[in-house]
C-alpha cells in the first residue's frame, strides 16, 4: 500500500506544533503518526501538507491511498483502509479517515461528494489539539510497544538495575546502571544506543528514543516519551519530547509537549495545576483567544526551536511559539508568540538572522546540517506568525 498522509483542519488547531511539520509528523507514543502508518504498510509514506513544508515532507506521486494525518492506525483501522476500493471514502460521523482515488487531494467532506461512502464503526485515536498528544500518549505508547516488539527478543540489562515486572524491551547498544524500572504500571522501551545513568527511577509507560540519555537521579513518573537524540533530567510526568531537545537539569515538566531543537535551562519548572484547581485554558491560534481544554492538569506546550534560561517559571497552560527565546525573573505570559525574545519584563522580535546563528550551532552539536530547507521553512513561519506577536 502506498500512502499519502494529508493535513485536514487539525493543522490549524494544532498550532504552534504544526507550523514546522505536517500533522502526521507529530510524535505520540513511541513513533510519529507517519512512522506508525509506515510500520503497518511496510512502505514509506508521503505528505500532503502546506507548500512551504513540501521540500522537507514531499508527497508520494504514486500513492493510491490518502489517509488523514491526524489519525493513528491500529489493526482494524488499517484493514478497513486496505479494503477501500477506487472511488471510496472511509468515514465516521462525517469525518474523513481515508479515501482511494487516482490523483487529487481531498481535505474535507465538501470535496468528497463524488466518492462512495464506507462507514467505519470502530474506535481510533485522533489528535485535534496540542493537549491531545499527552492525553493519548499512554494509550499510543502501549500500542507502539506491542507493534515494535512483537516476535522479537529483548536485549539484556546490567544486573545493577532493578526491574519490576517483565514488560521491558531493550534495543541494541543500550546502557543502564543502578536504575529502577517499574513495568508494573506500563511498558518500558529503551531505544537503540540510549543511556540511563545511575540513580534514576522510571515508571512505565515510558519510551526512550535512540541515542537519548537520562541523566543521574532522574525521576520519571510514566506516560512519558523522550524522542531520539535528547537529554533529560530532573522530574518528568506525562510529557512528550519529540527529539533533538534537552531538559538536562533539575526542574519539573508535566502534562506537557516539548518540540524539537529545544533547550530548557537549569531549574526550569512548569505548573500543571492551577491553585484553585480550575479548568485550564490554552491559547488557540485559530480563534486568537484562550480555549477551554476540559482538563484540570495541563502544563506546557512548547513548539520547535524554543530556548529558555535558568529558573524559568511557566504558569499552568502556557503555549510557547516557534523559536521563542525566554528568560528573566517571574512568570512570562501564558502565550509567548513565535520569534519572541524576552520574558516577564517584556518581549521584542527575535530576528531571523540571530535565530539562524543559534540554530546552526545547535544543529552542529547533534551533527546535523542546518540547511537551506530548514532556513526557508523558518523564514516562512516568521512571516506567517507576524500577526500573532502581541507585544
Distances (CA, A) of 278 to 234, 341, 350: 27, 30, 34
Q: Which of 374, 388, 385, 382 is nearest to 53 (CA)?
A: 374
pLDDT tens, 126-139? 999 999 999 999 99
Shared domain for 139 and 116, answered yes or no, is no
Q: Contact 232/226 with Cβ under 8 angstroms?
A: yes
Q: What is residue 229's predicted lDDT score, i.e. its pLDDT? A: 97
Q: What is residue 300's predicted lDDT score, i.e. its pLDDT? A: 98
Q: What is residue 108's predicted lDDT score, i.e. its pLDDT? A: 54
pLDDT < 50 positions in the chain: none
What CATH number should be reported for the domain holding residue 242?
2.160.10.10
Shared domain for 178 and 277, answered yes or no, is yes
Give the count of domains, the chain.
2
Shared domain for 265 and 144, answered yes or no, is yes
Shared domain for 35 and 98, answered yes or no, is yes
Q: What is residue 1's predicted lDDT score, i.e. its pLDDT? A: 86
The domain boundary, picked from 84, 113, 128, lies at 128
C-alpha triplet 233, 234, 235: angle, nearest 5°: 120
pLDDT tens, 84-128? 999 899 999 989 999 998 766 655 555 666 789 999 999 999 999
Shared domain for 203 and 318, answered yes or no, is yes
Q: What is residue 389's predicted lDDT score, i.e. its pLDDT? A: 87
Shared domain for 124 and 136, answered yes or no, is no
- The three-state (H, E, C) secondary structure of the chain, written as one string: CCEEEECCCHHHHCCCCCCCCCHHHCECCCCEHHHHHHHHHCCCCEEECCHHHCCCCCCCCCCCEEEECCEECCHHHHHHHHCCCCCEEEEECCEEEEECCCCCCCCCHHHCCCCEEEECCCCCEECCCCHHHHHCHHHHHHHHHHHHHCCCCCCCCCCCCEEECCCEEECCCCEECCCEEECCCCCEEECCCCEECCCCEEECCEEECCCCEECCCCEECCCEEECCCCEECCEEEEEEECCCCEECCCCEEEEEEECCCCEECCCCEECCECCCCCCEEEEECCCCEEEEEEECECCEEECCCCEECCCCEECCCEEECCCCEECCCCCCCCEECCCEEEECCEEEECCHHHHHHHHHHHHHHCCCCCCHHHHHHHHHHHHHHHHHCCC
Shared domain for 217 and 111, answered yes or no, is no
Q: What is residue 305's predicted lDDT score, i.e. its pLDDT? A: 97
The domain boundary, picked from 97, 128, 159, lies at 128
Q: Residue 38 and residue 45: Cα distance in Å, rounded? A: 6
Shared domain for 137 and 90, answered yes or no, is no
Shared domain for 78 and 196, answered yes or no, is no
Range of the domain at 376: 132-388
Q: Which of 285, 354, 292, 340 is nearest to 317 (CA)?
A: 292
What CATH number should be reported for the domain holding residue 38?
3.90.550
pTM across the whole model: 0.94
Neighbours of 245 (CB within 10 A): 28
Q: What is residue 65's predicted lDDT score, i.e. its pLDDT? A: 93
Shared domain for 165 and 79, answered yes or no, is no
Shared domain for 73 and 95, answered yes or no, is yes
Shared domain for 51 and 156, answered yes or no, is no
The domain boundary, picked from 128, 160, 195, lies at 128
The residues that bridge with 61 in the sheet, in sequence order, are none
Q: Residue 349 and residue 363: Cα distance in Å, rounded? A: 22
Q: What is residue 192's predicted lDDT score, i.e. its pLDDT? A: 97
Amino acid at each position: 500500500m502506498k500512502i499519502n498522509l494529508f493535513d485536514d483542519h487539525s493543522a490549524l488547531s494544532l498550532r504552534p506544533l504544526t507550523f514546522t511539520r505536517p500533522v502526521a509528523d507529530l510524535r505520540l507514543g513511541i513513533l510519529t503518526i507517519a512512522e506508525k502508518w509506515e510500520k503497518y504498510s511496510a512502505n514509506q509514506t508521503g505528505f500532503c501538507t502546506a507548500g512551504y513544508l513540501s521540500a522537507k515532507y514531499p508527497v508520494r506521486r504514486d500513492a493510491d491511498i490518502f489517509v488523514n494525518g491526524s489519525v493513528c492506525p491500529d489493526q482494524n483501522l488499517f484493514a478497513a483502509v486496505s479494503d477501500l476500493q477506487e472511488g471510496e471514502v472511509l468515514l465516521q460521523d462525517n469525518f474523513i479517515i481515508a479515501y482511494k482515488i487516482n490523483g487529487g487531494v481531498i481535505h474535507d467532506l465538501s470535496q468528497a461528494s463524488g466518492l462512495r461512502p464506507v462507514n467505519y464503526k470502530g474506535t481510533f485515536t485522533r489528535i485535534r489539539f496540542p493537549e491531545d498528544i499527552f492525553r493519548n500518549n499512554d494509550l499510543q505508547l502501549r500500542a507502539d510497544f506491542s507493534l515494535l516488539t512483537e516476535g522479537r527478543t529483548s536485549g539484556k540489562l546490567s544486573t545493577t538495575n532493578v526491574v519490576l515486572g517483565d514488560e521491558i524491551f531493550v534495543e541494541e547498544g543500550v546502557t543502564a546502571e543502578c536504575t529502577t524500572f517499574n513495568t508494573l504500571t506500563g511498558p518500558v522501551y529503551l531505544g537503540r544506543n540510549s543511556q540511563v545513568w545511575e540513580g534514576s527511577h522510571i515508571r512505565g509507560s515510558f519510551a526512550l528514543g535512540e541515542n537519548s540519555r537520562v541523566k543521574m537521579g532522574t525521576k520519571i513518573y510514566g506516560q512519558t516519551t523522550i524522542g531520539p537524540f535528547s537529554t533529560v533530567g530532573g522530574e518528568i510526568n506525562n510529557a512528550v519530547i519529540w527529539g533533538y531537545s534537552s531538559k538536562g537539569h533539575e526542574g519539573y515538566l508535566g502534562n506537557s509537549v516539548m518540540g524539537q531543537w529545544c533547550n530548557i535551562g537549569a531549574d526550569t519548572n512548569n505548573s500543571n495545576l492551577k491553585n484553585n484547581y480550575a479548568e485550564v485554558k490554552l491559547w488557540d491560534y485559530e480563534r486568537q483567544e484562550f480555549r477551554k481544554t476540559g482538563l484540570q492538569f495541563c502544563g506546557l506546550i512548547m513548539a520547535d526551536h524554543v530556548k529558555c534560561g535558568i529558573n524559568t517559571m511557566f504558569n499552568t497552560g502556557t503555549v510557547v511559539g516557534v523559536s521563542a527565546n525566554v528568560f528573566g525573573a517571574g512568570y512570562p505570559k501564558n502565550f509567548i508568540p513565535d520569534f519572541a525574545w524576552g520574558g516577564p519584563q517584556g518581549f521584542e522580535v527575535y530576528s531571523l538572522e540571530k535565530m539562524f546563528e543559534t540554530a546552526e550551532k545547535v544543529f552542529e552539536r547533534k551533527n546535523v546540517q542546518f540547511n537551506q530547507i530548514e532556513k526557508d521553512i523558518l523564514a516562512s513561519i516568521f512571516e506567517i506568525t507576524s500577526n500573532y506577536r502581541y507585544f
